[in-house]
């Protein structure tokens, strides 16, 4: 699979910060007589600065697979992904080091993002205040509740002010107030120019999304104008 950054080409392409074309992915195994599981078969998707894009689809449709390919942590079998700018990724399950404190987690990932100590501290304080986990900065990750762990998971994804933010059900475990705060925060980021793509399962979220892509039979359709038919209405996640 080709990965290009930054992209060139036509006007639309210049505006897009992330563009995936003809993405194909089949999960297989080298073990004989095991099943091949085709997931994506020519998926296309474009994300522009300042918009919040929803990716919906039934359980097992391939949403998380597509997102991992967009992030760059999983290779597609075919197709291209063009990225411009930095990426922030919030996986569905918090992929963090359990024995580190929240502050140490910021330090480690901040050094990964190549941020200075001052930048890391500023981002930590700003996000802890914004997402309301200031009192847990000295807690170890494995001592946090599910909701607070998810807040840290999200904060780590945005601490370096990425140009593109890819979120895989980032609100799992949030209470209603935090859920509302999350959407206000996402809108602020989008208004500041961040492009956001988010896997979503909730019908009521459609009103908050600028565009909606639906994954079905391995391909992606823009269903922004089509209402809610065919989408899963549960908050149960999947890892396909």
Give dist(CA 119, CA 151) in Å, integer: 19
The Cα–Cα gap between 29 and 37 comes to 9
Residue 140 near other proteins by CB under 8 A: yes
Rg of the chain taking only CA atoms, in angstroms: 18
Q: Contact 167/90 with Cβ under 8 angstroms?
A: yes
Among 41, 60, 78, 107, binds other proteins (CB under 8 A): 107
65 counts as binding other proteins under rule CB under 8 A: yes
Task: Report if residue 4 touches other proteins, rule: CB under 8 A.
Answer: no
Taking the least distance from each CB to other proteins, the nearer of 105 and 202 is: 105
CB of 26 to other proteins, least distance (A): 10
Residue pair 49/17 in contact by the 8 Å Cβ criterion: yes
Interface residues for other proteins in 10-29 (CB under 8 A)? 27-29
71 binds other proteins (CB under 8 A): yes
Give the nearest distance from C-beta 120 to other proteins in angstroms: 10
Listed in sequence order, the residues at least 6 apart from 195 whose beta carbon sits closer than 8 Å to its beta carbon are 17, 18, 47, 48, 49, 50, 51, 53, 163, 164, 165
Which lies closer to other proteins via its Cβ, residue 196 or residue 223?
196
79: left (phi over 0), alpha (psi -120 to 50) or beta: left
Considering only 43, 47, 82, 89, the residue that binds other proteins (CB under 8 A) is 89
Does 74 engage in binding with other proteins (CB under 8 A)?
yes
Smaller CB distance to other proteins: residue 65 or 148? Answer: 65
């Amino acid at each position: 699979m080709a990965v290009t950054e930054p992209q060139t080409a036509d006007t639309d392409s210049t505006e897009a910060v992330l563009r995936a074309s003809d993405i194909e992915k089949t999960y297989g195994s080298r073990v004989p007589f095991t099943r091949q599981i085709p997931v994506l078969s020519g998926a296309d998707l474009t994300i522009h600065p300042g918009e919040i894009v929803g990716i919906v689809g039934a359980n097992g449709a391939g949403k998380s697979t597509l997102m991992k390919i967009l992030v760059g942590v999983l290779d597609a079998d075919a197709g291209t992904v063009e990225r411009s700018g930095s990426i922030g990724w919030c996986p569905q399950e918090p992929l963090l080091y359990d024995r580190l404190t929240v502050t140490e987690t910021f330090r480690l990932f901040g050094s990964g993002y190549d941020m200075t100590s001052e930048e890391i501290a500023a981002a930590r304080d700003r996000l802890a205040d914004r997402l309301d986990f200031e009192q847990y900065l000295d807690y170890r990750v494995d001592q946090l509740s599910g909701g607070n762990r998810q807040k840290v998971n999200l904060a780590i994804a945005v601490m370096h002010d990425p140009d593109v933010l890819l979120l895989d059900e980032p609100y799992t475990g949030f209470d209603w107030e935090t859920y509302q705060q999350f959407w206000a925060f996402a809108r602020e980021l989008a208004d500041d120019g961040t492009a956001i793509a988010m896997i979503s399962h909730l019908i009521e979220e459609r009103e908050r999304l600028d565009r909606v892509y639906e994954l079905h039979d391995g391909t992606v359709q823009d269903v922004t104008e089509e209402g809610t038919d065919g989408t899963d209405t549960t908050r149960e996640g999947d890892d396909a």
